[in-house]
Structure 1
Amino acid sequence: SQWTTMSKPKFQTEWEEIDEEYQQLQETHKIYRQKLEELTSLQMTCSGAISKQRKCLKDLRYSLTKCLPTRDEKELELIKDLKMQIKEKENVFFDMEAYLPKRNGLYLNLVLGNVNVTLLSNQAKFAYKDEYEKFKLYMTIILMFGAITCLFFFNYRVTDEIFNFLLVWYYCTLTIRESILMSNGSRCALFDYFCMLRMFFLSFVQFLQYYYQSGCLYRLRALGERNQLDLTVEGFQSWMWRGLTFLLPILFFGHFWQLYNSVTLFHLAGHEDCKEWQVFMLALTFLVLFLGNFLTTLKVVHQKIQKNQEKVQKQD
């Protein structure tokens, strides 16, 4: 009786408040799980409906291409209008899929596995993009100071290896983050087309560099000049002209391939589906690369021809 007449201890009051909040939390979490199951079901329904619509539109587009030529202006206008509407619907589907889970590409599957990386809200997408841009800025500053430190203060093999590891880690991280952005709809509509051109160009140039360098090193060994592993302008020999003569047409082909990339990108920048300013800037960059490489190659060839002629005159 004495216990009932006394007020409740403070710890008992706190426990009752915590228990009441715990019961509310359980109810809230139960509702959350129900909504999550509903969300998953809606996602599957939307993804299935989009796939079905894409297939139907693909069949319709194929049927329109197989239509017999007609001179009826109304029918021609109808076909043109249908094609335009099909294209608009496909663009809408692309925007819809940016908020739906989807299978990762080959690269993300190899790195992360079949993990859902789709961000389901504009706020989350913006936060991830903003953090990605800050990450690139901070890492660029760190790498710049790291390069200066390795060059002027700690020019040792260990620091060079650490800096190279940091570079590899940075670019690998960039590819993963960029792939996640692409999975969330952050891509240029014409990216895939140009990417293949760029990768072909880089692979081709690297193959030619290996072929030419291996040939020059083989000739160096044959002549007994084993210590000359670096090919410089001062160390350029007349017997290297054979390899350079073979390489020059391919070098010029590479330069004009850069010009072709520039012209292609300028064309894509004016496309109606292109809304990104980066396409124009990349086209300008390739144009500058072409002019710099082409003019530099011409200057080097001119200098080497003059040196070779002077050497021949001295021998005579």
Structure 2
Amino acid sequence: AVKMSQGLAAVLEEWRSLEEEYQQLQDTHRLYLQKLDEISKLQNNCSSSISHQRKRLKELSHLVKNTGPSEEDAKNMNEIKEKIKIKPNAFCEMEAFLPKKNGLYLSLVLGNVNVTLFNKQSKFAYKDEYEKFKLYTTIVLLLFSFICYFFVSYRFLDAILNFLLVWYYCTLTIREGILITNGSRIKGWWVFHHYISAFLSGVMLTWPDGNLYKTFRNQFLAYSLYQSFVQCLQCYYQSGCLYRLRALGERHNMDLTVEGFQSWMWKGLTFLLPFLFFGHFWQLFNGLTLFRMAQLPDFKEWQVLMCGLCFLILFFGNFFTTLAVVRQKVKSRNQKQKTL
């Protein structure tokens, strides 16, 4: 009886301690829900205030344009104009930490789920996860393309490679949509480029095994191998460059590595340009090859022309976007040298 009473006393003591902890947990959870409600109200207030500010700023801009100031007032008017130009960036910085409505694509894929991350640590963690996903998947695609090109020639394995490419590019578009919602600044073409690539891989996946497919197979696999290799190079060097620029405080913390060339890559990354341009012209070569194949007597698959069109769109988009960035960078560098 003594042993049982001692055991019971220990259990009762443990239970009391647990109950006290549970009471504290309840209080903390109640406070948490209260703070969540307060945060939700603050978010709504901030969003409506930003909308109101934008509307008033637009009205003020029209007023400034229609006002012909005297020489004395011109200086003050110019100061107001400069301040008006700065405001939209400040609003964007604020909105990066406020809930946003999903764009059309994210709404179709995810529905109305809120994808805004509300603190910098979560944003950076998601961005780093995106970069790792991109690098690791590219390495897998590189190895798979290598095996299919050099060792194995089965349509089934080719289909798995194309399915992986479809999944990879579709996943990238969703992740990039979430990152853009959270403040990443990525050029429109490099996002659209992934939609075209996903569609192209889907068409390649449906291309039936025949003479035309076999004719183009090795060229496509060699291109896929080269693209994966260049993307691995880009991921490695761009992430290093972004890290250095962020450490110096020169770049936005949510900037991403991309398949193309952007102005911030200029320092130490110009060696990538020949690799990129070679890849762009390979896309042109693929497109022209497919259009030539469409003129052959045994042409009957619609995939030939569709893939050819996709490759041409990729070439023109990639080539002219990269060229525009290089031209802009050279122009701005020449202007800096003139001012010095």
* Shared fold, TM over 0.5: yes
* 2:122 counterpart letter in structure 1: A
Find the partner of 2:107 among 106, 109, 116.
Answer: 109
Q: How many Å separate the matches in 1 of 2:190 and 2:95?
A: 22
Q: How many Å separate the matches in 1 of 2:21 and 2:123?
A: 32
Q: Over residues 25-68 of structure 1, what are the superposed CA-to-partner deviations in whole Å (9 max), with x where a residue is unaligned?
A: 11110000000000000000000000000000011111212223
Number of aligned pairs? 235
Q: How many Å separate the matches in 1 of 2:110 and 2:158?
A: 29
TM-score (norm 1): 0.63
Match of 1:74 in 2: 72
Match of 1:305 in 2: none
- Kindly indicate whether residue 324 of structure 2 is the aligned counterpart of residue 264 of structure 1: yes
TM-score (norm 2): 0.59
Q: Over residues 207-236 of structure 1, what are the superposed CA-to-partner deviations in whole Å (9 max), with x where a residue is unaligned?
A: xx9899679746x44xxxx3799xxxxxxx
- Structure 2 spans left out of the alignment, 5+ residues: 200-282, 302-311, 333-340
More contact order relative to length (CA 8 Å, sep ≥ 6): 2
Find the partner of 2:167 among 165, 169, 173.
Answer: 169
Indicate how the Cα distance of structure 1 residues 264 and 20 shifts in structure 2: closer, same or farther if over 3 A, else same.
same
**Matched residues, percent identical?**
45
How far does residue 18 in structure 1 lie from its aligned partner after superposition? 1.7
* 1:111 counterpart letter in structure 2: V
1:118 counterpart SS class: coil
Q: How many Å separate the matches in 2 of 1:3 and 1:55?
A: 77
Q: How many Å separate the matches in 1 of 2:143 and 2:171?
A: 19
How far does residue 159 in structure 1 lie from its aligned partner after superposition? 1.1
Indicate how the Cα distance of structure 1 residues 271 and 79 shifts in structure 2: closer, same or farther if over 3 A, else same.
farther
Moved beyond 3 Å, runs of 4+:
1-9, 194-199, 209-218, 254-264, 266-272
How far does residue 19 in structure 1 lie from its aligned partner after superposition? 1.7
Match of 2:32 in 1: 32
How far does residue 136 in structure 1 lie from its aligned partner after superposition? 0.8
Match of 1:160 in 2: 158
Q: How many Å separate the matches in 2 of 1:262 and 1:197?
A: 14
Indicate how the Cα distance of structure 1 residues 9 and 73 shifts in structure 2: closer, same or farther if over 3 A, else same.
same
Instruction: Give RMSD over aligned pairs.
Output: 4.0
1:185 counterpart SS class: coil
Deviates more, 1:170-179 or 1:14-23: 14-23
* 2:159 counterpart letter in structure 1: E
Indicate how the Cα distance of structure 1 residues 227 and 97 shifts in structure 2: closer, same or farther if over 3 A, else same.
closer
Q: How many Å separate the matches in 2 of 1:88 and 1:58?
A: 13
Structure 2 contact 97–182 (Cα < 8 Å) conserved: yes
1:9 counterpart SS class: helix
Q: How many Å separate the matches in 2 of 1:33 and 1:21?
A: 18
Match of 2:20 in 1: 20
* 2:98 counterpart letter in structure 1: L
Q: How many Å separate the matches in 1 of 2:163 and 2:94?
A: 39
- Structure 1 spans left out of the alignment, 5+ residues: 230-250, 273-316
Match of 2:61 in 1: 61
Match of 2:138 in 1: 140
